[in-house]
Amino acid sequence: MDDASVIEKCRKDDKEAFRFLVEGYQKQALAHAVAILGNREDALDAVQEAFIDAFQAIKRFDTARRFYPWFYILLRNRCFKMTAKKRPADNVEEAEILAPQSDLSREELFGLESALLALSNEDRELITLKYLDGLSYEELSERLKIPRGTVMSRLYYVRKQLQAKLTGKFH
């Protein structure tokens, strides 16, 4: 079953059809929410709330578009509303931003994630979408609703911040 046919069923208040979308996108959504919020507990809450928002707004969804980019905007808004309550990762076991198949040791992974968590939510989101999701500058511009030049500039400065943090020079 494809997203468009599922969405048509959802528009008729078919909650079982919506389960297909949740199961298909929940893992990706959780990874993005963890990247923005910095911890799994808040991310799970944000994902759940965003899916509720999506189900309530599904009748307004333009089926000419892909579901996940539309849903991502809802998720992103939920995450940024929650940032005031952010609970940062305190140890290696809680660090979850990077993919578990990384070649880094647990300590190196935690160090990198700690450096990422030191960034602003917006900068962490940008670098995550670029390097973990592999989005192009154009895709980032579209997803984040900012000009391509701004994407390039922000990425340049975020990489500099991360490099400084990882070499111990970032204050």
Place of tokens 């000419």: 64
Residue among 7, 28, 14 nearest 135 (CA):
28
Task: Work out the percent of the chain whose per-residue pLDDT is above 70.
Answer: 82
Place of tokens 């204050």: 171
Residue among 144, 86, 146, 143 nearest 117 (CA):
86
In the chain, what are the domain boundaries? Answer: 1-87, 89-171
Query: Has residue 106 got a pLDDT over 70?
Result: no
Query: Has residue 102 got a pLDDT over 70?
Result: no
Q: What is the CATH number of domain 89-171?
A: 1.10.10.10
Query: Has residue 121 got a pLDDT over 70?
Result: yes
**Residue at 49: amino acid letter:** E
- CA 99 vs CA 74, 129, 147: distances in Å: 23, 13, 28
Look up residue 52 and give its two tokens.
């509720």
CATH architecture label of 1-87: Orthogonal Bundle (1.10)
Query: Has residue 90 got a pLDDT over 80?
Result: no
pLDDT band at 92 (very low <50, low <70, confident <90, very high): very low
